[in-house]
Amino acid sequence: MAEKILIVDDEKAIVKGLKYSIEQDGMETDTAYDGEEALALAQSNSYDLILLDLMLPKIDGMELCRRIREFSDVPIIFLTAKGDDMDKIMGFESGADDYIVKPFNILEVKARIRVFVRRSRKKAAPPKAGEKLIEKGDLRFEIDNRRLFIRGTEINLTTKEYDILELLVTNPGKVFSRDMLKDMVWGPEYHGDPRTVDVHVRRLREKIEENPGSPKYVQTKWGVGYYYKA
């Protein structure tokens, strides 16, 4: 089945160009020109990835991303003319997985799409026998449907948050550097901002830790990286 991409931008020329190029690669697309229209589409359809402009009418891109994250972990890539560090950090904080600054090279956009779609499809593949459940201390992973429970309470994580935690938990005590996590979770083909790892870890801690400032599960080895304390 062809991958389905939602393109959200208020500049019709950009939408037209993206739509044409993506469909040339055999993918299907839906398009939206404002935040309200995009939210309605995201709620009523299943997408493999969303390309989302930051500056949108009615609902801006960051707010739209936060709302989508309330019900979906679909990969989201921001497309925006803003390129300073604070905009990137705010984008990641709102739940984005990647960030591409306009004007962009369409080949780069399509390469990023392929990275995320390929990894999402791989994660959605049926689990192998004996890999349906992981239990580590208070944590319970239901691998087949990618659900996390802590002491019986389900915790809603995005795809990347889940991937990071699962990797750390299944390798207790092993320290993973930022670059290692980036390569293993996003893939070696990913060349985005490596600081997205830190933002995702911080968001993860806010969801699973009673005190994110003094974490119980995801620990930091200063100057080296992150690890799971068994």
**Under CATH, to which class is 133-228 assigned?**
mainly alpha
| Angstrom distance (rounded) from CA 12 to CA 104 | 16
- The model's pTM is 0.62
Domain 4-124 falls in which CATH fold? Rossmann fold (3.40.50)
Domains in the chain: boundaries: 4-124, 133-228
Percent of the chain at pLDDT above 90?
36
Report the pLDDT value the prediction gives residue 22, as an integer from 0 to 100: 94
| Angstrom distance (rounded) from CA 230 to CA 211 | 17
> Tens of pLDDT along 145-167?
788 898 888 888 888 888 899 89
12-24 vs 106-124: helix crossing angle, rounded to 10: 60
pLDDT (average), residues 205-228:
90
> Tens of pLDDT along 66-123?
899 888 888 899 888 766 666 666 767 788 888 888 888 898 888 888 888 876 665 5
Q: Which 3 state secondary structure label does DSSP give 29?
A: strand
Q: Which two tokens stand for residue 218?
A: 């995801």
Q: Which two tokens stand for residue 215?
A: 């974490």
